[in-house]
Each structure stands twice: as structure tokens, then as C-alpha cells.
Structure 1
Amino acid sequence: MRVILKLVVFAIIVSIIIPNIPHRVNASVSVSAQSAILMEQKSGRILYEKDANTKRRIASITKIMTAILAIESGKMNQYVKVSEQATRAEGSSVYLKPGEKIKLKDLVYGLMLRSGNDTAVAIAEYVGGSVDGFAILMNQKAREIGMYNTHFTNPHGLDDSKDHYSTAYDMAVLMRYAMQNKTFQTISSTKVYRSPNPTEAWDRVWKNKNRLLTKYQYCTGGKTGYTKLAKRTLVTTATKGDMSLIAVTLNDSDDWNDHISMYENGFKGFDMTEVLPKGEIDIEKNSDYKDHLFLKDSVVYPATNEEMSLFSVKYKLNKLSNSRGNPKKMEYIVGKAEVYLNGRVVEEAPIYYQTDPVKKKGLFDFVKEIFLSVFGVRTNG
């Protein structure tokens, strides 16, 4: 009876879904930038790159690092007294006044939306004690998150040193890290922000310089940049369906269109594939393991249509701890699942042991498994 049910459900799903499978295209694209990259946010997979590891000047996209350090300082609701030095910063400005007190949160909005160099210096002095002290924090964070071809000397990106540089890849790594922070997500996606202005009868109103927020419906944030030496630089993010992407271009005269082109090719050429569903896994017949192993989260990875059949999984288990059965420790990691794409490890997920037997799957889970086994994909909407 169970075999017949499987065949019936399988036939229904195939007859309904197959005619509606979207056409997929090669995600190749050409951009004007000297360096460029398109990265999927969840996995960090590179979907497109052009000279992505060459060190270049980066201009105001530097401020992504300044913003995330300010947010992580935990002082966003505290007031900052603006120094004379901050108000003398060259280039773009929100016109802070010496001695005025402004919330760190408002400084970060001015930094990200209007690219205020005065806000960058004010943030650096408050969070790092000085511009030089803040640069140390910037470089420490860069190494911590894997930006190995990056060096910061200031919080704003002005061309005051040859030692201030990064790469398209490293800036994507930074944006991927920053976008894990909810506060950063909110600020980066804000189109207009009103900041109190205690010395005047009117509030400051800042419109985001990131034109992609209004030009491209799937854009979720980003940061612009420009100096005479760096030329135009741009980091943006976009989400369509269950896929979120990061695009970076350095020295690009047509960056808005290039970002849209990269996004469109990425969304059309790749789908988020659920390689392993969360829940019970049955990989060991040993009675100690049987009905006790599970994954807390599904393993999802971006793949082209041609790559769908190239996934494989290997399970590696440790010996069970003597603590099993301890009511104070109902579950713990006993191994990992390694996901391979065309023979190369692309993802890993911890395997958990639960002292109580894992709940058996119902009919809905059964149908879902059949669907995923056939198509292995969630489309991008």
C-alpha cells in the first residue's frame, strides 16, 4: 500500500510541476568594472567574478566597516560630542557642528545614507578613541572575518594613503558579515531618514544615495563610493524569493546597470537547492544511533540546473558520549554531514543526537521529500 501511495503522489507532483519548471540560462555576464563579484549571501558561493582579488582603492564603501563596528559597539543610543576635527573632514558631509551632541545611531544613518565623512570621523573618535585607534579596530575585524587582502587607514575611504585598499571579494565578505546584523540591514535598506537637529528649528532629512533601492525592485541595501583615484565603487544587496545576493564593483563607470545585470543573471541562472532537509536522518543501523540522529537546519546551496545531479553527501559520526541519557543534556553534536558538489566539499552541517527518539515524519513530510528528491530546488519566485 505504501509503495502504491508513493507512486500516486509522485505522479501527481510530476504532472503538476514539470510544465511549470522555469527555463534556466547560463549566469555569465559582462561588466565595465575593473573588479567585480556576485556572491550568494547564505553560502558565500561566488556566482560571478572578474579580477575579484586585485587590491584596489575602495573610496566610501569603506564605511560599511565603520558602520558595523559602530553598531557592534553597543552604544548606538549614546550621544557623541562632535569634535572640530570631525567637522573639518573633506568631501561629502552632513554638516555637523563642533560641540553638538548627536546619537551614534544618527551618525551611522548619516554615514550610510549620505556618506558623511564628518560622521565617519565622529564615529571613529567615539568608538576607537581616535581615527588611528579606530583603524586598528577596522583591521582587526577584517582579519577576524577573512578579509585577508584588505588594509584600512581611515574610517571614510578618502585617498589619504596608499595603504588603504581592499578587493571586490573582500568587500563581498564584509557585506555578507554585516548583513547578518539586523540593525545594519535596517539602516542599509532605509531610503529616507529624519535625524533630530537640536541647534536648528528643522530636522535633518537624509535621502539614501544608493539609487538601486528605487531603481531595482529587489535591492535591499548597499553603499556607494567615489574618489578621483578610486573612481566609482559600489556594494549592494538584493533578494528575490529565497535567494539573497551581494554585488561589488570597483572602478566602474556603469555600476548601476552592471549590478542589475549581475543580479538578473544570478537569479535566472541559479536556484537555492535544499540538499538535505532538516529533521531525522537514518544513516546508522547501530541501535545506539537508530531513531536518534537529526539535523537542526536544512542544508541549502545555490546551484545551476546542470549541477542538481552533482550533489552527494557523506556522514561522519563520532563515538557516543557517556553523557547520553543525561536529562540535563537532551541533545548534542555527534558528527557532521558533508555536502559535496562535483567532488568538492561546499557545505557542512552538525549532526545531533537526541536522547528521546526523534519524532517520525508524517504524510506532509513524506510528500515534501518526494518533491525534493525529484526537483531538489526551490525556485526564486
Structure 2
Amino acid sequence: MWIKHKRIWSWIAVITLIASGFAGTSRASAAKNLPALGTHAQAAALIDVTSGRLLYSSHGDDELRIASLTKIMTAIVAIEHGKLDSEVKVSKNAFGKEGSSIYLKLGEEMTLENMLYGLMLRSGNDAATAIAEHVGGSVEGFVYLMNEKARMLGLSHSHFMNPHGLDEEGHYSSANDLAKLTAYALHNPVFKEIVKTPTKKVPNPNESWDYKWDNKNKMLRLYEGADGVKTGYTKKAFRCLVSSATRNGQQLVAVTLNDGDDWNDHGRMLDYGFEYYPLKQLTEKGEPVQGQDLVVSQTFQYPFADGEEAQVNKKLVLYPEAEEGAPDLRFGLRGKIEVSLKGEKIGEIPVYRKGSVLPERTASGTAAEQTMAPVHQSNWGQWFSVVLKRLLQPGA
């Protein structure tokens, strides 16, 4: 029985770290005295990647066609579920897929990693289909993984029917959901590297020359600090764009759906975020908690409009002490600091006993110094109950 309790407390410690890394709220800014921001888009959103704070949203929850912005989900699901060095074989279904293409040959084999470059730089629908069949076993199997990922991330205004984004009934997302999804994906180093690449050369098994793919995302050339992400267009979705840029250590993501002036709108949106919502540091990893024999485990950063930082409140919440003589199954974890802005919770920072080994990484593989985009918070209770149920089952 003691062994089972030990396992439970170990999992509680791990899940606590996961939840703390994803804590916060993702609400559009309500700060006063800021200039108005407008776009030509049917729907738009702007998000800070580090914190996951939505800085701007216009019709952000409207469920709309998203064209090849779909491939953001395709890429992150493939990266998380597939092996990058595995060989993807092009099936009859993938060969000659309509729409944008990287012109793969029937039966051609290419590593998953290289095919992901073709997917994201050239928006290859043939690559999307081949990747889906390879990683999911079938297109239908992969689409199931896409929708499961959307559910886990709390993307309540998204549903996927295919991996490429060609118009299909029941296939949609929203500007807010795409902002949250992209903020999540940009914490993955493979995804982050792919979407910022301007040009990629890949071996071509059928010809004497290599494939050379230039990124369709003009923001990489038009905007200082641009480092992603994806273009999209269909006759029903019209022009869609997700862009990202990094300045002074802050990364922002802008999303527009059905926008005829998207390049200019994205420049204005990103400028707005960097100017009026600079990223500021509230705590530093390892710093002591005043009046306690404790230290904070993460550097916590958050974007604040002018005057907002003075409205931040930090509350220390300590967990119950273990029984005297019992081993420390929480590895020094003693509680958390709840951070709120204007009475609304924006994050949690785990605190540890001085001298403890502080966690280096969160469950997503991102550095603990980064406060993860908080799209997972709603699933904390669900994850906790599932783990406890499994551990308490006989034979678990």
C-alpha cells in the first residue's frame, strides 16, 4: 500500500509541475487608454507566445474556414507523434493531390523532417496527405489525432476534417484558437526552426538536382524580426495568414482570416503588441520567497500595458506538510505563488524548499524559464483525475 501511495504522490508532484507551467488566462486586452487597432480581416487575433495572453481579438471566436493554416496543426501533431528520420512513402492518394503541391512522385520516399519543410514552406497538399497516412496510419486516423490535440489544447472553436485545409464542410477554426495553437507549437524547437526557414534544399531521389523550397511567407522578408508561420488561401476561405516575430526577447503571433491586406495588417498588429504590451519579468528562477525558506522554480514573464504591472498581486499558497519522518515525495515542492492581474489569475509559479533541485523543463519540453502558453489549464482537473483513477485501480 505504501508503494502505491508513493507512486501517487510522485505523480501529483509531476502533474503539479505540468499545471503550473500552463497556468494563466488567455483573454483579450481590456486595458484602457490604448489606441484603437483595426484590420481588414473578417476575424483577427494577436497573442504573446511566452504567456499566452491574447492582446487583441476581433471576432476571435467566429468559426471560419482556415485554408492551409490547417497545416500548423498537421505539423505539430506529426512532430509529436512521428519520428523525424523515418521515411515517408508517397501513396496514390497523396500523389497529385489537388491544390498547392511540392510535386512528389508516386512511390517516392522522403524523411518526415524534410517533408515537414515542404508542408510548411510550400504548403504542399501532397506532403500533408503523405504525412497524415504515415503518422496516423490513414488520413482518417491522423485527423482523429488532430481533433484530439485540439480538445487537449482547449480549442473549442476548431474541428478538422483533413490535414491540408482544402474546403470541406465541418472543417473550421477561429482566430483565437489558431493564435493559441501557434503559441503552443512555437514552444517546440523543431516546429520553430521549420517555420522561420526562408529557403530549404532537400535531396531529390528522382533527379540530379535537389528540391529547393522558398518560403511563401513574405513576412519573413517584409517585417523586422519575423520568424514564421504560415500562409493560406482557398476560394471560400480567401486570404488567411498566421505570422510571428521576435523583438527584445518577446515573440508575438498575429492571425487574420479573410484579409485582403494581410501583410500590412500583420505589420501593424505586431507593432502594436511590441509597443503597447512589452514583456516584463516578475520573478527569476531561484530567487528567495520573502520571509520563507523557499525559492521560486521558474522565471515568470508577462506582457503588460502601461500601468498594469502595478495592479499585479502575488499570493503564496503552501501545501500541507508531510507527516513527520515520512520521505519527501514531492522532491522539495512546497507550494505555489498565484499571480493575478486586476483580480484575475494569470499564472502560477511552483515554489521549492531551498536547496532543492529545481525542474529544468516542463512536460512539453520547453525551458522552465518560459511561461508556457496557458491553453491547457482547463484540462488540469481532467488529467489529475485520470492519473489518480489509473493508479488506484487494482493491479495498476
Alignment partner, residue 380 of structure 2: none
| Number of residue pairs the alignment of both structures matches | 326
Aligned partners of 1:128 and 1:137 also within 8 Å:
yes
Where does residue 71 of structure 2 map in the other structure?
A: 63
The percentage of counterpart residues that share the same residue type is 46
CA distance in 2, matches of 1:308, 1:247: 23
Which ranges of structure 1 fall in alignment gaps of 5 or more residues? Answer: 1-24, 285-289, 359-381
**1:99-178 equivalence runs, <5 A:** 99-159=107-167, 161-178=168-185
Tell me what 2:57 maps to.
Answer: 49
Contact 1:331 1:354 in 2 (8 A): no
Residue aligning to 2:97: 89
Paired residue for 2:233? 226
**Relative to 1, partners in 2 of residues 1:318 and 1:125: Cα closer, same or farther, differing over 3 Å?**
same
Match of 2:18 in 1: none
Q: The residue matched to 2:180 in structure 1 has which SS? A: helix
In structure 1, what is the Cα distance between the partners aligned to 2:281 and 2:315?
16
Task: Compute the displacement of 1:311 (Å).
Answer: 1.0
Greater Cα offset, 131-140 or 221-230: 131-140
Residue 253, structure 1, aligned to residue 254, structure 2:
no
Distance 1:158 1:246 in 2: 23
Q: Is the 8 A contact 1:275 1:311 kept in 2?
A: no
Q: Distance in 1 between matches of 2:94 and 2:286?
A: 53
| 2:82 and 2:135 in contact (8 A); partners too | no
The superposition leaves residues 293-330 of structure 1 with CA deviations (integer Å, 9 ceiling, x where unpaired) of: 0102122111012212111111111222247896x879
Q: Secondary structure at the match of 1:199?
A: coil
Q: Over aligned residue pairs, what C-alpha RMSD do you find? A: 2.1
- CA deviations over 1:346-365 (Å, ceiling 9, x no partner): 11111112367x9xxxxxxx
Instruction: Give the CA deviation at 1:345.
Output: 1.1
Question: Would you say 1:304 and 2:302 are equivalent positions?
Answer: no
Task: Rate the CA distance shift 1:103–1:271 in 2: closer, same or farther, 3 A.
Answer: same
Higher relative contact order (CA 8 A, sep 6+): 2
* Structure 2 CA distance for aligned equivalents of residues 119 and 352 of structure 1: 46
What amino acid is the match of 1:253? G
How many Å separate the matches in 1 of 2:304 and 2:326?
40
CA offsets, 1:82-103, max 9 Å, x none? Answer: 1111113111111111111111
Does the Cα contact within 8 Å between 1:28 and 1:265 map onto a contact in 2? no
Is 1:75 equivalent to 2:76 in the alignment? no
Q: Is 2:180 the partner of 1:180?
A: no
Q: Stretches of 4+ moved more than 6 A in 1? A: none
Q: 1:195 aligns with which of 189, 194, 202?
A: 202
Letter aligned with residue 348 of structure 1: E
Partners of 1:341 and 1:267 lie apart in 2 by 20
Structure-1 residue corresponding to 2:333: 333
Contact 1:324 1:330 in 2 (8 A): no
> Is this contact kept in 2: 1:63–1:112, CA < 8 A?
yes
Unaligned runs of 5+ in 2: 1-32, 359-396
CA deviations 1:250-307 (Å, max 9, x no partner) are 00001111111001011111122222333343455xxxxx4x2010212211101221
Does the CA-based 8 Å contact 1:210-1:222 persist in structure 2? yes
Q: For the residues of structure 2 that align with 1:329 and 1:318, how far apart are their CA atoms?
A: 13
Residue identity in the other structure for 2:322 = S
Cα deviation 1:131-166 (Å, max 9, x = unaligned): 11111111011111111111000000001x210000
Q: Can you list the C-alpha shifts for 1:13-40, whole angstroms capped at 9, x where unaligned?
A: xxxxxxxxxxxx8353110000000000
- Aligned 1:229-378 pairs, distance under 5 A: 229-284=236-291, 290=292, 292-322=293-323, 331-354=331-354
The alpha-carbon deviation at position 50 of structure 1 amounts to 0.5
Amino acid at match of 2:116: V
Task: Work out the CA distance in 2 between the residues paired with 1:41 and 1:68.
Answer: 16
Q: Which residue of 1 aligns with 2:216?
A: 209
Tell me the TM-score normalized by structure 2: 0.78
1:53-105 superposed Cα distances (whole Å, 9 cap, x missing partner): 00000000100111111111241111111111111311111111111111111
**1:39 and 1:269 mapped to 2: Cα distance?**
13
- Establish whether residue 33 from structure 1 lines up as the match of residue 41 from structure 2: yes
Q: Which residue of 2 aligns with 1:368?
A: none
- CA 324–264 in structure 1, closer or farther in 2 if over 3 Å, else same: farther
* 8 A Cα contact 2:298 2:350, kept in partner: no
Distance 1:121 1:323, change over 3 A: farther
SS in 1 for 2:310: helix
Contact 1:27–1:269 (8 Å) recurs in 2: no
**For residue 337 of structure 2, what is the amino acid of its counterpart?**
A
Deviation at 1:331, TM superposition (A): 4.3
1:323–1:329 CA contact under 8 A, matched in 2: no
Deviation at 1:189, TM superposition (A): 0.5
- Distance change (3 Å), C-alpha of 1:72 and 1:330: closer
The C-alpha deviation readout for 1:149-202, integer Å capped at 9, x for no partner, is 11000000001x210000001111110111111011110100000111111111
Q: Which amino acid in structure 2 is aligned with residue 313 of structure 1?
A: K
Larger Rg: 1
Q: Distance in 1 between matches of 2:139 and 2:324?
A: 51
Mapped contact 1:87–1:118 kept (Cα < 8 A): yes
Partner of 2:387: none
Question: Which residue of the partner structure matches residue 106 of structure 2?
Answer: 98
Given the superposition, is the C-alpha separation of residues 352 and 211 from structure 1 closer, same or farther in structure 2, using an over 3 Å criterion?
same
